[in-house]
Amino acid sequence: MQQNWFIVGLEIFTGLFLASIALFFIAIVYMYISDKLQTKQAIRHNYPVIGRFRYLFEKQGEFFRQYFFAQDREELPFNRAERSWIYRAAKNVDRTIAFGSTQTHDKAGTIMFMNAAFPKIDSDEHVDELITIGEGCIHPYSTAKTCHISAMSFGALSRPAVTALSHGAAEAGCWLNTGEGGLSEHHLKGHCDLVFQIGTAKYGVRDEDGRLDDNKLREIAAHDSVKMFEIKLSQGAKPGKGGILPGVKVTEEIAAIRGIPVGEDSISPNGHAEFTNIADILDMISHVRIITGKPTGIKAVLGDEQWLKDLCDEIQLRGIEHAPDFFTLDSAEGGTGAAPQILMDHVGLPIKESLPIVINLFRQKGLKQRIKVIASGKMVVPSQIAWALATGADFIASARGNMFALGCIQALQCNKDTCPTGITTHNKHLQQGLDPRNKSTRVASYNKSLHYDLKIIAHSCGVSEPRLLSRHHARIVTESGISVSLDKFYRQY
């Protein structure tokens, strides 16, 4: 009898065990199919089932980080606190925190905004002022938006990523910079405002010899979506060197747009062949502005200051109407593209040092009202943007902030063709997880959240809109651990 019960028990156990295995495999198959069919999370789509562990580990990191993981403010180039804010803003979920800040308030360089005794009352009645760029142009450009999407080329970014940015920018009401890779149909799909960048290789507007082609320039300007033209002198990732797009990312479509061979590295010259002196820069600005009828400016990383002083002197000599309509100041702290580490790490000034220098110089030369300043470089959260506005910038443009909104996980694979989220790869399999419809909504939500939280800071400081922030509204912590006003701190420049 005991033996019979043992056999029966063993059969029941075996049956349950086999049923459990069957259910386990059914669950795996279900998760696999579910992950492949969904398009909200690229990691799960591209790496079904396995990709789910990322979210488990990420969640557990909140509890075990003090033993095994970096703290909120330790990681580079963007820390956990910054990324977390962007992800929540992009998903339009709660952005509040509890139990105190993880921000160190006595660390040198920390910015703190000074709340007013009588803050502005939050109201939807206030309408932000329109800022016009290129008032003397045939087709000036006006916008009330402060935050915009910085230069990222089609090539550095994938087709669905560019498409999502185009639709997201249109929904948010901000502009999208094409980057130096030329204008593609994907930039135009969302009907957003575009800034066409003219790089040193002049992709999209070059002749057979690599010089500026006026007819192609007119074709680009004929697009109503193209609102401004930006002549790139240098960029944050690699000051003194042209753009780099590895051959593995040069597809037939990208090669056709750029006018280069398929599969070969796209290496832009480290400078414009037309430029030998300061006068040449102003000549090209005037030429592009006349041909297109649209605002034309320049983009550069500040290193040697003398060229910028000479540019201001040349403008004063020729007349203020010859000035660039805007100046995009990039930070020497890297970017979304491939770059030699020696340049990314050690060449050029970071935005925290260069922006006050540029603003002070333009004010000294009487050019600040004429030349609108667009600050770009690692400004991805409202406090960083508020600092730039208080320092004197008119706009900010962010690239990597919008990449995080697209779903970037800081895998540091941008210079390869292996981006796991499909943002910087032309691998069709990896791109499948990036649904432009879903990601465009996240891009729009991120940019709307930036503007909303910027107003929170402005109202706390007693002004009605962020552009009214000035240097006396913020303080910076010095080496002594004591803060001084930005106004006093930047007088040394």
Residues 257-300: pLDDT tens digits? Answer: 888 888 888 778 888 888 999 999 999 999 999 999 999 999 99
Of the listed ranges 79-88, 110-119, 159-168, 397-406, the one predicted with least confidence = 79-88
pLDDT computed for residue 408 by the predictor: 86
Model confidence at 115, pLDDT cuts 50, 70, 90, reads very high
Containing 4, the helix (H) or strand (E) segment is: helix 2-37
pLDDT computed for residue 155 by the predictor: 86
Tokens (6 digits) for 376: 């770009």
Burial, 486: exposed, middle or buried (Cβ in 10 Å; 0-12, 13-18, 19+)?
buried
Would the pLDDT of 64 be above 60? no
Residue appearing with tokens 């406090």: 383
Residues 185-197: pLDDT tens digits? Answer: 999 999 999 999 9
Q: Where would I find the H helices in 222-327?
A: 252-258, 278-292, 306-318
Listed ranges 125-129, 167-171, 402-406, 489-493; the one with the highest mean pLDDT: 167-171
C-alpha span between 198 and 272 (Å, rounded): 10
Closest CA to 430 of 38, 42, 32: 42
Residues 224-248, mean pLDDT to the nearest whole number: 82
Closest CA to 126 of 471, 381, 473, 466: 466
Please state the domain extents for the chain: 1-66, 131-492
pLDDT computed for residue 67 by the predictor: 45
CB 182 within 8 A of CB 258: yes
Would the pLDDT of 2 be above 60? no
Q: The pTM is what?
A: 0.86
Residues 103-132, mean pLDDT to the nearest whole number: 85
Other CB atoms closer than 10 Å to residue 99's CB: what's the count?
5
Looking at residue 459, its amino acid is H
C-alpha span between 243 and 374 (Å, rounded): 20
Would the pLDDT of 11 be above 70? yes
Cα Rg of the chain (Å, integer): 25
Question: What is the DSSP secondary-structure string of 42-82?
Answer: HHHHHSTTTTHHHHHHHHHHHHHHHHHS--TTT-SSS-HHH
Containing 232, the helix (H) or strand (E) segment is: strand 226-232
Closest CA to 165 of 449, 446, 436: 436
Which listed CATH number (3.20.20.70, 3.40.50.300, 3.30.70.20, 3.40.640.10) goes with 131-492?
3.20.20.70
Closest CA to 228 of 193, 182, 185, 272: 193
Report how far apart, in Å, the C-alpha atoms of 278 and of each of 160, 171, 285, 305, 310 are: 39, 39, 11, 13, 7
Model confidence at 334, pLDDT cuts 50, 70, 90, reads low
Average pLDDT value for the chain: 87
* Between residues 391 and 409, the one the model is more confident about: 391
* Between residues 24 and 187, the one the model is more confident about: 187
Containing 159, the helix (H) or strand (E) segment is: helix 159-172
Of the listed ranges 53-62, 212-221, 303-312, 355-364, the one predicted with least confidence = 53-62
Looking at residue 29, its amino acid is V
Residues 301-328, mean pLDDT to the nearest whole number: 95
pLDDT computed for residue 97 by the predictor: 77
Bridge partners (DSSP) listed for residue 230? 197, 297
Share of the chain above pLDDT 70, in %: 90
Report whether the peptide linkage leading into residue 77 is cis, meaning its omega lies within 30 degrees of zero: yes
Residues 153-172, mean pLDDT to the nearest whole number: 94
Closest CA to 399 of 271, 290, 248, 236: 236
The residue ranges of DSSP E strands in 379-434, in sequence order, are: 395-398
Tokens (6 digits) for 93: 């979920």
Would the pLDDT of 1 be above 80? no
Closest CA to 299 of 367, 356, 243, 375: 375
* Between residues 246 and 214, the one the model is more confident about: 214
Backbone phi, psi, residue 454, to 5°: -60, -40
In total, the chain counts a number of residues equal to 493
